[in-house]
Amino acid sequence: MTNNTSFTQLKREYLNILKQYIPIVDRIHGPNHPEFHEVRRIFENMDKELDQPDTENTGLQEYFSQLRILTQNYRIPEDVCESYEAVYQMLSELDETYHRIK
């Protein structure tokens, strides 16, 4: 990601990937990482907001705040797969980019 990447561009790039990865990661890693169930729930709520044309006036800031707390600032557990890591990386980049527009 470059500093010039807009939130809209990143959202377009990552949203479909996250929609695919998150349910799978939840199913596979949820038993050992129950916090991921909540990550999934938050993401599903965010997804509804992200589908709105104007994401600058939504509750995304609160969702990102919840994710930072829940994931300890997107800290990747040692015992997870690359898909889990990719989910946290994409969410972190979306979070960072979103807050640059704020």
Q: Who wins on pLDDT, 18 or 11?
A: 18
- Asked if 55 and 49 count as a contact pair (C-beta separation under 8 A), the reply is yes
Of 62, 66, 61, 14, the C-alpha closest to 40 is: 66
- Asked if 14 and 1 count as a contact pair (C-beta separation under 8 A), the reply is no
Element (H, E) at 72: none
Task: For residue 75, give the DSSP letter.
Answer: P
| Domain range annotation of the chain | 7-100
pTM exceeding the 0.85 threshold for the entire prediction: yes
The fraction of the chain above a pLDDT of 70, given in percent, is 89
Q: Who wins on pLDDT, 56 or 15?
A: 15
pLDDT tens digits for range 18-66: 999 999 999 999 999 999 999 999 999 999 887 776 655 568 899 999 9
Both tokens of 12, joined, read 């377009």
